Amino acid sequence: MKKMTFLLACFIIALNNFSLFSQTQISVVTGFHTSNTKSEMTGDLVTLSQITNFSAGLMAERKLDDILTLMTGVIYRKKGFSMNESTGVDVLGLNLPLGVKLENEINYIDVPLMLKYYIDNSSPVQPYIAVGPSLGYALSGTLRTKATAILDFTVATIDMNLSSNDYNRLDVSGNVLAGVNIPYGNGNVIAEIGYGHSFNNFINQDFIIDAGGKHHGWSMNIGYGMKF
């Protein structure tokens, strides 16, 4: 909890500092985050698949010069993976897929700190790219097992004890964004796509098995920003 408080305090301080200057843009963004996890335990027999979930955030952007801005914010997203094990069963001449699906979902609050470069600031429509790190904190997580047939049925949902020494709740990632600002009304419509990859493992090295667990995934966002 102390780590989460520190994370939010950093954003509030940064937001207050941004508001002292002109040419500050505050934006609300929402979209989808597609996540997967790279594990040392995967191989030819076990394949992890991606999960896709809703994401949302509040971003603050301060102009440094004509083409560069500094951007931070708070973003909620889910990270994790899914795993399927299935076989075919012949019933009345029909081959029906039967199996088990495991889904891992971890709720994160991410605070990015990115440098944003506007490729063409002479046009009303402004394309941009942004790069930088982000610091994330895992709020909660679940492991959900499902029986798969024609439809999926949830068998059990287990809450992960993220306070255990088995997990690293802090996630340090590198990120890159590409997008465009489109003038509309008193602000800008934002459309962007991004990719992020964790530098550290979610599974602690003290765990019984060195499972690793680096999150990575794509984000697609739309939003609206206003300058102050």
Q: Give tens-digit pLDDT for 176-195.
A: 999 999 999 999 999 999 99
Q: What is the pLDDT of residue 150?
A: 56
Query: E strands of 8-167, at which residues?
Result: 24-39, 48-49, 51-63, 68-91, 94-118, 126-148, 152-159
With H, G, I as helix, E, B as strand and everything else as coil, classify residue 216: strand
Q: Which of 137, 126, 3, 146 is nearest to 76 (CA)?
A: 137
CB distance 133 to 111 below 8 Å: no
The mean per-residue pLDDT over the stretch 128-157 comes to: 83
Overall pTM > 0.95: no
DSSP secondary structure letters along 140-176? EEEEEEEEESSSEEEEEEEE--TTSTTB--EEEEEEE
